[in-house]
C-alpha cells in the first residue's frame, strides 16, 4: 500500500501509520484551520484528534519562565544560573577556557540546565567528561530520519549514504513504524534489477 494523501476524511489510524513531513502537516493544518504551532509530534497529535473527532484541538502555549537578569561577565567561580540560555556570553567564556574547538552540544546544554547552582569550573569538567563519553546520543523521537540513518549505518558500515536514503524513502512510504530493519535492504535489490 502506498502512502495515502493527507485529507480531511482520512481515518486517523491510517494517518498515524504513515510518515508525513512537518511541512505537509502544517499545510493540512492551514487548509483545515488547525493551529500550526508546536513540534512535529504535537502537530501530528492535533491532526489525529481532528481526524477522529472532527473537532479542533487548541494549542496550549507553554508557560514562559521569567529569565534572570542578563549576565555581563563569567568566571570559573560564577554560579550557573537557573533557566540558563546558552548565549554568546557563555560561548565566549567556554571558548576562552576550553579553546576554539568548544561547541554547545545537547548533552552539555542538558547538563547546564540540570546543574544550576554549580560553578562554571564544574561545567568545564563536565564538558570534558561528555566529550570523552562515547555512548551514542539519544535522538529525539521527532528526528526519525536521523535515527533511521544512524541505525542503518550501525548495521551496514560498508554501504553508502545514497543507499541509506533510498531505504529511508521506501520505508517512509510504507505503513507501520519508521525504524530501520534489516529487511529494508530489499529495496536496494529492486533498484539493482531495474
pLDDT in tens, 176-188: 889 999 999 988 8
Could you report the per-residue pLDDT of 102-130, keeping only the tens digit for each? 999 888 999 999 999 999 999 999 999 99
H helical segments located in 54-119: 88-98, 106-114
Q: With bands split at pLDDT 50, 70 and 90, how would you rate the model's confidence at 72?
A: confident
Given this model, what pLDDT does residue 69 score? 52
Q: Is residue 163 scored above 90 in pLDDT?
A: yes
Given this model, what pLDDT does residue 191 score? 64
CA distances from 6 to 15, 49, 88, 159 (A): 7, 14, 42, 33
* Rounded distance between C-alpha atoms, residue 29 and residue 44, angstroms: 10
Residue among 70, 68, 64, 54 nearest 12 (CA): 54
Could you report the per-residue pLDDT of 24-60, keeping only the tens digit for each? 999 999 999 999 998 899 999 999 999 999 998 876 7
Given this model, what pLDDT does residue 108 score? 92
Amino acid at each position: 500500500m502506498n502512502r495515502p494523501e493527507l485529507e480531511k476524511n482520512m481515518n486517523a489510524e491510517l494517518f498515524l501509520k504513515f510518515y508525513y513531513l512537518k511541512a505537509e502537516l502544517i499545510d493540512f493544518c492551514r487548509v483545515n484551520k488547525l493551529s500550526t504551532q508546536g513540534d512535529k509530534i504535537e502537530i501530528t497529535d492535533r491532526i489525529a484528534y481532528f481526524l477522529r473527532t472532527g473537532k479542533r484541538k487548541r494549542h496550549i502555549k507553554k508557560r514562559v519562565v521569567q529569565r534572570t537578569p542578563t549576565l555581563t561577565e563569567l568566571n570559573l567561580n560564577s554560579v550557573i544560573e537557573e533557566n540558563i540560555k546558552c548565549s554568546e556570553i557563555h560561548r565566549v567564556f567556554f571558548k576562552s577556557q576550553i579553546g576554539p574547538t568548544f561547541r554547545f552540544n545537547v548533552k552539555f546544554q542538558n547538563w547546564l540546565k540540570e546543574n544550576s547552582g554549580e560553578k562554571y569550573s564544574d561545567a568545564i569538567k563536565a564538558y570534558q567528561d561528555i566529550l570523552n563519553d562515547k555512548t551514542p546520543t539519544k535522538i529525539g523521537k521527532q528526528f526519525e530520519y536521523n535515527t533511521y540513518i544512524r541505525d542503518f549505518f550501525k548495521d551496514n558500515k560498508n554501504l553508502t549514504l545514497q543507499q541509506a536514503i533510498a531505504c529511508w524513502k521506501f520505508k517512509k512510504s510504507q505503513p507501520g513504524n519508521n525504524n530501520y530493519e534489516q529487511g529494508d535492504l530489499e529495496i536496494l535489490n529492486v533498484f539493482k534489477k531495474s
